[in-house]
Amino acid sequence: MEYSRRNEGDIRLNIGAGETEWGDVRLDIDSTDQVTVLGDMHSLPFPDNVCSEILLDNVIEHSRDTTGVLREIHRVLRPGGIVYIYVPYYNAHGAYGDPTHRSFFTEGTFDYYTEASDYDYYADFEFQHVSQDFFYSKLLQPVPSERIKLKLGHMIGDLVLAMKVVLRKPGADPVEPSIDGWLQS
């Protein structure tokens, strides 16, 4: 397969693309005008180390096998490549209210897959943690501390709505994030 690329050898992959246009390759299990490859995130139809950036925007929560999906992402991501993950927060209505959601995420979930984890027996691969950001209910706007917002979010549902996580596959020549504004909430 041949795809358009920003730089020689770089593929920007959008998994679960649906109607979005980001990415040189837009993969989904359903066909739309924007999808360029039909496929499944559990078995990506690409060789190893070909993607510079991968986006999972509201998609990984539909899998029962988070570790398996992240293993596939790690496999196709080139060394230094970046994965952007956007998920609903575990106790937000957007997470548990959707009957197709199979996995739930907190601020500590992706730590299990990073170099800093004490739980390296969960996965045979690792990422570097680049950043993590949260979307909060307007009720938390007056609260100045991120830590207090998260504590309140653990006690009361729908205060923390979603989170964005950016991970990098270890390796030389790290990719700089290219999604404009993605690192800001």
DSSP secondary structure of 43-96:
B-SS-TT-EEEEEEES-GGG-S-HHHHHHHHHHHEEEEEEEEEEEEBTTSHHHH
From 46, 41, 151, select the one nearest 102 (Cα to Cα).
Answer: 41
Q: Where are the domains of the chain?
A: 11-168
Instruction: Please report which confidence band the pLDDT of residue 16 belongs to, taking 50, 70 and 90 as the band edges.
Output: very high
From 17, 20, 23, 25, select the one nearest 1 (Cα to Cα).
Answer: 25
Convert the pLDDT of each residue in 78-137 to its tens digit. 999 999 999 999 999 999 999 999 999 999 999 999 988 887 778 999 999 999 999 999
Tokens, residue 6: 């920003």
Q: Selecting from 3.40.50.150, 3.40.50.2300, 1.20.120.1200, 3.90.380.10, what CATH number does the domain 11-168 have?
A: 3.40.50.150
Instruction: Please report which confidence band the pLDDT of residue 180 belongs to, taking 50, 70 and 90 as the band edges.
Output: low
